[in-house]
Structures are given as C-alpha cells and as structure tokens.
C-alpha cells in the first residue's frame, strides 16, 4: 500500500528546501539567467543544507536518505528556478551513473575529488543518436547541449554501457538564448577524453536512465506548479466585465485542468519512486512517470503564458521562462521521445 503521508523528517526536508527556493532562487532567477551562473553565496548556502548528496551513502559523504526525499527537494527547487537548481546540485544527476556502475574504489576517488573541489560538476550525456565514438580507451565527438559550463568528469550512457570520462578531455562552448541559462549551458566536445571506468551492464544502464528521468520529472513538477500558482494569482487579480477573469467559466475550466495536470504528474512520479524503493524493476515506471510529467508540464506552462495574454511573453513575468524550462527538461537526456521508445520496448518485453 502506498502511503502519501510525509514523515516528520520528510516534512522538515521539504520545508527547508521550500525556504531555500523562495529566499535564494526565485528572487534572483532573472539575475542568474543573465549571468549564466548562480552566485557563489547561493551555492554555498545550498551546500550547507547538504541536499546535493542527499541520496549518496554515508561512506561517500552523503546522508543516505531516500529517493523520495530527494524528489521533495527537487520539486521545490524546480519551483524556485530549475536552471539554478541544476547549477547548485552540481554532481547530480550524472553521479547516478557512478552509484549504479562503478566499483567502490572508483566511487570513493571521484566523490573525494568532487568534495574537495571549488565547484563540483559532472556532465551527463545520453548518447541516443550515436554522436560519440569510443576509440582506444577514449571518447571522441560532441553533444549539443549540457547544462553546465565546466566539469571535472562526465558520465556517458551509450548503448547499454555506462562510461565515466576524465574532464581533461572536455571542451565547453557556451550557448546563449536558451532555457536553463543559469547552468551556463554548453555544447560539449570530447577530444581524446580518457575513460576512467567502463561498465557494459544493461540492468545498471536501465536503472541509471530511470533515476535520471525521475530526477528530471521532479524538477518539472516544480516548474509546472510555479506556472499554475502564478497564472492563477494573475487570473484572480485581473478583472473584466466586473469580475476577476478566473471566475469566467472558460478560464476557470483551464485553471482546473492545469491543477489536475500538476497533481497527476506528482502522483505519477511518487508512484514510480515507490516502486524504485521497493526494489522492483523501475524502467517502465520511470519512463511512464517522466512521460506523464513532461507532457503535463508543457501543457501547464503553455497555458500559464496564455492566461497572461501578451504579458505572458515578456520577461516582466516569469511564465515565459517556465515554459522554456518545461520544453528543455522534456527533451534533455534523450527526452520524452527516448522515454517513449524505452517504455515501448519494456511493454513488448512483458
């Protein structure tokens, strides 16, 4: 039986994450987007909370808490600013690859290096279109979008394999004018990038891809919730024909559908996390949850813009930013299309 009640610890985690998002992320969202980075004091404040390594085991410096607790944090961060969330997270979600496939000595070495560095970063690439080649223990090629401006290492998921790659062989070309700008988004070039560890393990690959999808879905729930709340408040304050537009039937129906979409996405995510924590095969559940949340978030953020009319398309209001973020988070790391393909294969395989 799934219990949706939060424990006292989970309530505290969510409250702390919500406070951080409302005080450190949301007020500075435009500034971080213009800078293409998050201010150092915000990064430091997040590290002090210890949320970045929430799921990592204690021997690697983490808190050893549940994926569900992490999803609670990520929803709040996505509500505050999804781009800044990925920036302050740093090592995640790329380090799911490390936790799923690397031997303990490799985990200890890389986590220790990241813990001692100024701004830990692990680039993540799902090479679903074969743009990367493996030659003589190195990786060659490029990926068109990664949400980071630098990295000490990279995790590459390719054809059932998980590879950890030395950051010395990586070059980052900044991208502008796109979503998640606070991360310092880049095109990444692999040039004789040395493979530190290579694991051909389809089961680990599936678990890693699934956990990445759950991570991204949690951010998307927060983005959709932010758009719903803002658009609903706007519709209650703006009046036409003597009453707030939220009380006109057509607008009220749209808002109700948006609220339903947010809740349905969250429940889909929580169900998948529940299956993961039970130790069940998670590939199908994660693909389905990501698909549900991705489609719903695009619906909600699109209508979030439309409910503001012409105002929705200018940066005076954040709804256009949330629409861009929902689009990119639905296409990053293989996106909804790859989730559809993987889910179809799993269904056909029974």
Strands annotated E in 47-185: 122-126, 132-135, 138-146, 153-158, 161-166, 170-174
Average pLDDT over residues 13-29: 96
| 45-49, 143-147, 243-247, 292-296: which is most confident | 292-296
Average pLDDT of the chain is 89
- 3-state SS assignment for residue 176: coil
**Cα-flanking dihedrals φ and ψ of residue 51, to 5°?**
-80, -25
pTM, two decimals, is 0.94
Confidence of residue 72 (pLDDT cuts 50, 70, 90): very high
The Cα 145–Cα 187 span in angstroms is 5
316-325 pLDDT, tens digit each: 899 999 999 9
What per-residue confidence (pLDDT) applies to 297?
97
Of 32-41, 89-98, 123-132, 244-253, the least confident:
89-98
Is residue 165 within 8 A of residue 199, CB to CB? The reply is no
Confidence of residue 2 (pLDDT cuts 50, 70, 90): low
pLDDT at 4 over 80: no
303-312 pLDDT, tens digit each: 999 999 888 8
143-166 pLDDT, tens digit each: 999 999 998 889 999 988 999 999
Is residue 154 within 8 A of residue 300, CB to CB? The reply is no
The Cα 330–Cα 147 span in angstroms is 14
């Amino acid at each position: 039986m799934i219990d949706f009640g939060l424990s006292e610890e989970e309530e505290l985690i969510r409250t702390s994450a919500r406070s951080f998002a409302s005080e450190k992320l949301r007020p500075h969202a435009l500034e971080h987007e213009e800078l293409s980075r998050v201010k150092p004091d915000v990064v430091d404040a997040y590290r002090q909370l210890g949320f970045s390594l929430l799921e990592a085991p204690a021997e690697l410096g983490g808190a050893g808490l549940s994926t569900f607790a992490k999803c609670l944090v990520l929803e709040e961060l996505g509500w505050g600013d999804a781009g800044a969330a990925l920036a302050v997270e740093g090592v995640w979600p790329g380090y799911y690859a490390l936790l799923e496939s690397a031997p303990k000595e490799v985990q200890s070495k890389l986590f220790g290096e990241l813990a001692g560095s100024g701004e830990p970063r692990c680039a993540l690439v799902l090479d679903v279109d074969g743009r990367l080649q493996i030659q003589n223990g190195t990786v060659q090629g490029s990926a068109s979008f990664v949400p980071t401006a630098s990295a000490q290492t990279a995790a590459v998921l390719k054809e059932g394999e998980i590879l950890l790659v030395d950051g010395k062989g990586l070059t980052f070309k900044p991208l502008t004018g796109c979503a998640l700008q606070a991360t310092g988004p880049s095109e990444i070039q692999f040039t004789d990038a040395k493979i530190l560890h290579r694991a051909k393990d389809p089961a680990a690959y599936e678990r890693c891809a699934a956990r990445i999808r759950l991570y991204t879905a949690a951010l998307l729930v927060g983005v959709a919730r932010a758009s719903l709340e803002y658009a609903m408040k706007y519709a209650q304050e703006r009046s036409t024909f003597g009453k707030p537009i939220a009380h006109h039937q057509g607008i009220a129906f749209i808002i109700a559908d948006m609220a339903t979409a947010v809740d349905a996405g969250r429940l889909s995510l929580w169900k998948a996390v529940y299956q993961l924590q039970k130790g069940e095969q998670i590939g199908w559940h994660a693909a389905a949850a990501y698909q549900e949340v991705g489609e719903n978030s695009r619906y909600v953020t699109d209508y979030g813009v439309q409910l503001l009319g012409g105002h929705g398309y200018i940066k005076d209001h954040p709804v256009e930013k949330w629409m861009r973020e929902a689009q990119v988070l639905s296409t990053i790391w293989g996106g909804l299309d790859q989730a559809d393909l993987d889910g179809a294969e799993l269904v056909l395989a029974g």
